[in-house]
């Protein structure tokens, strides 16, 4: 979590860092701060949103050409001015920002307190900056040497950027387990947790790897590993455009990203799917078909919304490929002792490609001989680099904290994977393969048509905006959609919501049903249709309020439900790509009706790079 921005060059650093932090606010917005280096290092930090930093009117904000900034998602210590970053060492010479968690900070803090160090905050970060100071002082070492030594003792994940009094033309950064991008300019450099604060100034970037130090001046970037050996920087070209991270006339990023889905899915399919020719190309799968075709089983590892995409993929892969699939929460998988070995395929799903639990989980599986395939959105991310192979979703930047277009991008890639593997194994017929290719090619247009009816969803949202609880029910491919719909509503509106398989309703949740409980059924026409009609009747018999997402022209459920939302008829394997859209819109419109900040829900951050 947390967002980091830094600048060194000849421009005024303050507005660059401030704008960058606003673009990274989706990563955390409990508090924020900036430190600027002019004649000396000056620091300003406040609890609350990044906009609070605009109150800093010191002269240094007009003259300093070097600085570091941070927007925080609280881990150690509550949101407060004192706990906000940057943090300064006891001697006042070192100033540091940090993204991550130092797991052994308590023992380090005790060690430092015994030496007389005083602490102003509750953070692990203040412990780290003083630990570096202590090493530098007692060993008469340079800052670079002290950082290298400190990080060998630190347990946890981190990206740090450090400034030192007396060295106005240098920043030192390091990473392990959290992302860091360096933008290469002409006589200037930009550092950030992702590329969004950088693209306005340069498209040439370096993605720093784990256990690397970066020593940055105005004219040079030098990389070294923790063994002090030089590392050759690999400069890449960004394919992101500035317009992609702006609201573009929408009230919120979430709404913009929901309505971008026809285009993001078209981008996902571009160069891969040719419906008229009946061709599907997916290089990451094709180059490793033997690993998939011979797999004893496939284990999908993910968190949150990506886990729901994995559940849909379980249905897809087992249906089309006849390979056993398990879907694991990465946070649980990494701490179990799972039976993984050669012949197993691990599919890691992550929007950011930096999800801490997923990263550790696939590292563990890789050590045990499994084949790792990454499905990520962010190009150059850690998961994409650690995987043996993978596929990008090409959904474009997703700024809203609640994932929308990333989810449908993941489903699209996973569907193509299942189709390709099934064809290779011969577990689906040529006719079925061609049918699915044509169906998939029609999805962007069906998504566009579904979104065109958004005002109907708004009407439903306004009707139920004051609800205290919600139940989401679905069966088959639409069961994970029910889970995802419930998650979105919780995230965006703070309404308690639960998702269940519709048939499991009778095993407990039906006790909650009364005239005040809205129950949303994902009830498109598929193999489970008759069963879910029966489930709807059971809810109506108990006076529950039924909202149904149905296939266009469905008059049967229309006669039962209190409210219906129609979506285009779609093959049941691909139905989640359209049936999920009304749940995204419903969550958005309910959140807005309740007066909430839908882009930045409380206590949440976009990219979970810490445990």
- Residue 22 falls inside a structural domain: yes
Structural domains counted in the chain: 3
User: How confident is the model over 94-104, as a mean pLDDT?
Assistant: 92
* H/E stretch holding 72: strand 66-72
pLDDT confidence of 245, banded at 50, 70, 90?
low
214: three-class secondary structure by DSSP: strand
Does one domain contain both 22 and 137? yes
Active site residue 456: no
Q: Which of 176, 446, 600, 606 is catalytic?
A: 606
Q: Which of 2, 268, 303, 321 is catalytic?
A: 2
Does one domain contain both 53 and 31? yes
CB-count exposure of residue 109 (10 Å: 0-12, 13-18, 19+): buried
What integer pLDDT is reported at residue 487 of this predicted model? Answer: 96
Last residue of a domain, one of 410, 441, 472: 441
CATH assignment at residue 185: 3.60.20.10
CB-count exposure of residue 540 (10 Å: 0-12, 13-18, 19+): middle
Active site residue 606: yes
Does one domain contain both 434 and 351? yes
User: How confident is the model over 202-216, as a mean pLDDT?
Assistant: 93
346: three-class secondary structure by DSSP: strand
- Residue 162 falls inside a structural domain: yes
Does one domain contain both 107 and 256? no
- Residue 71 falls inside a structural domain: yes
Does one domain contain both 437 and 539? no
* H/E stretch holding 538: helix 529-540
* H/E stretch holding 389: strand 389-392
For the chain, what's the residue count?
611
CATH assignment at residue 327: 3.40.50.10490
Longest CA pairwise span in the chain (Å) = 80
- Residue 606 falls inside a structural domain: no
User: How confident is the model over 149-169, as a mean pLDDT?
Assistant: 92
pLDDT confidence of 611, banded at 50, 70, 90?
low
The mean predicted confidence, pLDDT, of the chain is 91
Does one domain contain both 293 and 377? yes
What integer pLDDT is reported at residue 25 of this predicted model? Answer: 84
Does one domain contain both 263 and 190? no
578-601 pLDDT, tens digit per residue, is: 999 999 999 999 999 999 999 888
The span from the CA of 220 to the CA of 228, in Å, is: 17
- Residue 183 falls inside a structural domain: yes
Last residue of a domain, one of 225, 243, 261: 243
For a pLDDT cut of 90, what percent of the chain falls above it?
72
- Residue 456 falls inside a structural domain: yes
Does one domain contain both 471 and 589? yes
Does one domain contain both 120 and 21? yes
Last residue of a domain, one of 196, 220, 243: 243
Instruction: Quote the domain boundaries for residue 397.
Output: 247-441
- Residue 609 falls inside a structural domain: no
Does position 162 have pLDDT exceeding 90, yes or no?
yes
Does one domain contain both 414 and 532? no
- Residue 329 falls inside a structural domain: yes
What integer pLDDT is reported at residue 300 of this predicted model? Answer: 96
Does one domain contain both 456 and 431? no
Does one domain contain both 335 and 203? no
């Amino acid at each position: 979590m947390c967002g980091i921005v830094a600048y060194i060059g000849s421009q005024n650093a303050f507005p660059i860092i401030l704008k960058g932090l606003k673009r990274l606010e989706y990563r955390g917005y409990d508090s924020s701060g900036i430190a600027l280096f002019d004649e000396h290092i000056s620091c300003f930090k406040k609890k609350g949103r990044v906009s609070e930093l605009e109150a800093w009117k010191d002269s240094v904000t007009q003259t300093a050409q070097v600085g570091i900034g941070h927007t925080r998602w609280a881990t150690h210590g509550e949101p407060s001015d004192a706990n906000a970053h940057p943090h300064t060492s006891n001697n006042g010479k070192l100033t540091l920002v940090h993204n991550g968690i130092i797991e052994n900070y308590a023992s380090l803090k005790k060690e430092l307190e015994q030496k007389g160090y005083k602490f102003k905050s509750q953070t692990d970060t203040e412990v780290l900056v003083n630990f570096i100071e202590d090493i530098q002082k007692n060993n008469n070492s340079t800052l670079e040497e002290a950082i290298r030594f400190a990080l060998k003792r630190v347990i946890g994940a981190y990206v740090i950027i450090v400034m030192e009094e007396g060295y106005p033309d240098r920043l030192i950064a390091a990473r392990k387990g959290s992302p860091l991008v360096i933008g290469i300019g002409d006589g200037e450099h930009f550092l950030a947790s992702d590329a969004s604060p950088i693209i306005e100034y340069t498209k040439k970037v370096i993605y720093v790897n784990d256990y690397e130090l970066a020593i940055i001046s105005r004219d040079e970037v030098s990389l070294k590993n923790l063994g002090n050996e030089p590392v050759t920087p690999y400069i890449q070209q960004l394919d992101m455009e500035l317009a992609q991270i702006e609201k573009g006339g929408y009230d919120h990023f979430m709404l913009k990203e929901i309505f971008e889905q026809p285009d993001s899915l078209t981008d996902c399919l571009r160069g891969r799917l040719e419906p008229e020719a009946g061709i599907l190309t997916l290089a990451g799968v094709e180059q490793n078909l033997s690993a998939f075709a011979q797999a004893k089983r496939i284990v999908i590892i993910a968190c949150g919304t990506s886990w729901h995409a994995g559940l849909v993929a379980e249905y897809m892969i087992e249906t089309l490929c006849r390979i056993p699939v398990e879907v694991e929460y990465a946070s649980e998988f990494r701490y179990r002792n799972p039976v993984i070995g050669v012949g197993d395929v691990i599919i890691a799903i992550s929007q950011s490609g930096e999800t801490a639990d997923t990263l550790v989980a696939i590292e563990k599986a890789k050590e045990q001989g499994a084949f790792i395939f990454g499905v990520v959105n962010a190009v150059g991310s850690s998961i994409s680099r650690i995987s043996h192979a993978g596929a990008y979703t090409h959904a474009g930047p997703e700024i809203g904290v609640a994932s929308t277009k990333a989810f449908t991008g993941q489903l699209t890639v996973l569907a193509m994977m299942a189709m390709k593997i099934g064809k290779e194994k011969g577990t689906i017929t040529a006719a079925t393969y061609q049918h699915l290719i044509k169906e998939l090619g029609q999805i962007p247009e069906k998504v566009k048509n579904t979104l065109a009816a958004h005002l109907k969803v708004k009407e439903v949202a306004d009707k139920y905006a004051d609800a205290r609880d919600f139940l989401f029910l679905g069966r088959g491919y639409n069961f994970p959609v029910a889970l995802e719909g419930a998650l979105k509503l919780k995230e965006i509106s703070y309404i308690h919501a639960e998702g269940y398989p519709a048939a499991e309703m009778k095993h407990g949740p039906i006790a909650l049903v009364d005239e005040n409980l809205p129950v949303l059924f994902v009830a498109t026409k598929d193999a489970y249709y008759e069963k879910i009609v029966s489930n709807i009747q059971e809810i109506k018999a108990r006076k529950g309020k039924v909202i149904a997402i149905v296939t266009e022209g469905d008059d049967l459920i229309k006669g039962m439900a209190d409210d219906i939302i129609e979506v285009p008829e779609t093959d049941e394997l691909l139905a989640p790509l359209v049936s999920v859209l009304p749940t995204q819109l419903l969550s958005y419109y309910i959140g807005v009706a309740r007066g909430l900040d839908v882009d930045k829900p409380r206590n949440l951050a976009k990219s979970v790079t810490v445990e």
